[in-house]
Chains A and B, each alone.
Chain A
């Protein structure tokens, strides 16, 4: 019986081992014919439409040999660089991608680091569409409203409302809102996504202006001028920053002499911890808020214009016209627009794009005996008109380009001759101010809203 038992077990053991060996051998043969496969991928589909140099990281299931740019195809096309580290293939997009677009990234000939077996890896993703915010003033018929909408969607929603909203700035999950009291003093509040209100104490009674939010750092910036007669003011257009997630106490930004700076104009530099500011003496400086005493003089200019979406340059104006100032090197390049017939350029109303720049030009119209505003796309020695007000008596007040240079939001007053001011002592606007959204590639008007101060 013992021998019978032994032999039954032995047969089962041998059969089990044999089957396992055959299966192991079969799968070894099958897997050795396979090249690398995509295990997972990471991309910030929101960040990739707002920032330069965002990465798609594709994780292969094994270490791979270095991939070259020639092996990578992106549809729709986009400028990129590719790096390989171990099992990770990182495709870095040079510029922000288009909104609401499905991208397909294919990498051909991805070879295993161990045995050279190759395969193709493909990953598809859809980018986010922007959530736009703008300020709609009631004109005295009720509270002012901060509206939210999409660029291609008709839906419209009130994100926040309050009496006498002077200005606002949008973070991804909060709004910074400045309201004006009856006495003309500003009040600054942070409004959470659930409507919770956090009051931020200002340096004193006074007015806030040029409010901006930096999405990357979560920091808020503004200029502050305290109340009272000019000679006795402690702060006059003094630049402050405040970290709502930190102490929430405004701190003055210090200039070359270590003293708080008073500015004519200023802006956060995208994708960095820097601020570019024009002092009241017209000297322009670059301040790194992440480092102590890191202030770089950039020169003296008549005006400071818009910072490019990639954060590499800013438009400035000297006596001869507009310049593109590199923030890295301080070098300037003259912007020589191919003007529309009879057009002139006034001020710093220009914003550089990935290729070319947008320019506001004015053409004298004899019929109305005044200038008609035009928004023109310049580049490669050519000019293409993107927008002009329907009514020749309308005017372009300002414009701002989306972070990915896909759209431009243009603030207009439809008819200057009949325009009525809203009466706000700070950041006042025409009651009829309208914002038009234009697709830069096609020149198509995709949306118009009544309001201003668009935050992309």
Chain B
């Protein structure tokens, strides 16, 4: 309810402020509202779709289906999981509830992380929009897909080294995962679906609201021009683009078009870093992932993903 109320409040204030005439909000406040609402408008359909897919996985897919279909070898299993995004084309916001559903359904936390990080990039919508924006120029498309795939599997391997997989989760979500299936007795599948939708929406929407507010606020405070002036330096351009991706929190399905105008200013590698890092780690994603993973895990995840994204960008700059 808090999340829904916050989101509705943002829309109401933005709508009313446009009719206030002389009492209109300052430009910075209007920018903040517009930017925050744009993140919500962009993300909400995918969040809802992700929750629905999560419910489908948890309630309607047989318990052992994923376990039976996926390879037994752990490396091949993670490779297969990182390609699941091709079948479940949800952007990163929708992947959080879906990844939660996969954990509930028996995947390890490391495997779920692999899906969470690969699916926003290795999915048909993202590949098509990136191809439309950049074509084969400078290998941006190839580097993005390959980079996303490799980073997801690196993270999957790294966290698979952690023997205490539930220890990576927040205590609350770990407890939910530990509940015996018997607690659902007496309910129809539709009933379970409705209950899960309310529960997941109640968990995810406040995080989305807070993430959108934070993204809007930082964009108002930090001028984009500061980032653009760094565009031509091989190292600073990559860092600038990763910071930009972190701040603006744009969805992976549309981020290629967002960044296309910057392609004439920034080095190709920095564009790739933006397109790889943004879908995996940004303000909104961290807020959403905080519903599932411990803070320490998110810090470790961010460090590795940031370094790997920068490396992918540097390699592209070197060879292109």
Residues of A within 8 A of B (CB): 1-2, 4-6, 8-9, 12-13, 16-17, 20-21, 23-24, 27-28, 30-32, 34, 37, 39-40, 61-63, 86-88, 112-115
Contacts and interface: CB of A to CB of B under 8 A. Distances in A.
A24 B310 contact: yes
Nearest to B235: A28
Contacts of A61: 138, 267-268, 317, 320
Interface of B: 137-138, 154, 158-159, 161-164, 167, 231-237, 264-265, 267-269, 300, 303-304, 307-308, 310-311, 314-315, 317-318, 320
A24 B315 CA distance: 9
Given A9-B162, A28-B314, A16 B154 contact: yes
A40 B134 CA distance: 12
Contacts of A13: 158, 161, 300, 304
Given A9-B161, A24-B307, A62-B267, 5 more contacts: A5-B163, A24-B314, A28-B235, A31-B234, A62-B231
A16 B304 contact: yes
Contacts of B232: 62-63, 112-114
A300 to B, nearest CB: 52
8 contacts: A9-B159, A9-B161, A12-B158, A13-B304, A34-B318, A61-B138, A62-B234, A114-B232
A28 B270 CA distance: 12
A373 B235 CA distance: 70
B308 to A, nearest CB: 6
Could you say which of A62, A86, A112 has the most chain B C-beta atoms within 10 Å of its C-beta? Answer: A62
Nearest to B314: A27
Contacts of B159: 9
B164 A20 contact: no
Interface centre among A6, A16, A87, A115 (most CB of B within 10 A): A16
A30 B318 contact: yes
Given A12-B158, A32-B235, A61-B268, A20 B318 contact: no
A61 B268 CA distance: 7
Contacts of A21: 307
Q: Give the residue among B154, B158, B237 with the most A Cβ atoms within 10 A.
A: B158
B140 to A, nearest CB: 10
B307 A17 contact: yes
B163 A31 contact: no
A61 B164 CA distance: 46
Contacts of B164: 2, 5-6
A17 B303 CA distance: 8
Nearest to A5: B163
- The residue in B167, B304, B314 that gathers the most chain A C-beta atoms within 10 A of its C-beta is B314
A88 B311 CA distance: 26
Nearest to B168: A9
Contacts of B269: 31
Contact of A17 (B231, B304, B317): B304
A88 B264 CA distance: 9
Nearest to A21: B307
Contacts of A5: 162-164
B51 to A, nearest CB: 31
Name, among B159, B232, B317, B320, the residue most crowded by chain A CB atoms within 10 Å (CB to CB): B232
A1 B164 CA distance: 9
A27 B265 contact: no
Given A12-B161, A39-B138, A39-B320, A27 B304 contact: no
Contacts of B308: 20
Nearest to B159: A9
A2 B269 CA distance: 41
A24 B304 CA distance: 12
A41 to B, nearest CB: 12
B311 A63 contact: no
B96 to A, nearest CB: 23
Residue among B137, B237, B307 having the largest count of chain A Cβ atoms under 10 Å: B307
A63 B320 CA distance: 15
A335 B99 CA distance: 83
Nearest to A86: B264
Contacts of A113: 232
Nearest to A2: B164
Looking at A13, A27, A39, A88, which has the most chain B CB atoms within 10 Å of its CB? A27
Contacts of A6: 162, 164
A28 B317 CA distance: 10
A39 B137 contact: yes
A194 B318 CA distance: 47
Contacts of A9: 158-159, 161-163
A20 B311 contact: yes
Nearest to B157: A12
Contacts of B315: 27
A16 B158 contact: yes
B265 A86 contact: yes
Contacts of B311: 20, 23-24, 27
Contacts of A8: 161-163
A-B pairs, 4 with minimum CB distance: A5-B163, A27-B314, A20-B307, A114-B232
A65 to B, nearest CB: 10
Contacts of A2: 163-164, 167
A34 B314 CA distance: 12
Contacts of A17: 303-304, 307
Given A27-B318, A31-B234, A31-B318, A63 B265 contact: yes
B243 to A, nearest CB: 16
Contact of A28 (B137, B231, B234): B234
B233 A114 contact: yes
Contacts of B234: 28, 31-32, 34, 62, 114-115
A35 to B, nearest CB: 11
A63 B137 CA distance: 17
A28 B310 CA distance: 10
Nearest to A27: B314
Contacts of A37: 320
Nearest to B308: A20
A115 B233 contact: yes
A88 B308 CA distance: 30
A117 B41 CA distance: 44
A20 B310 CA distance: 9
Given A8-B161, A21-B307, A28-B234, A39 B268 contact: yes
Contacts of A115: 233-234
A27 B269 CA distance: 12
A39 to B, nearest CB: 6
Contacts of B320: 37, 39, 61
Contact of B163 (A1, A16, A30, A88): A1
A21 B209 CA distance: 34
Nearest to A63: B232
B162 to A, nearest CB: 4
A14 B131 CA distance: 36
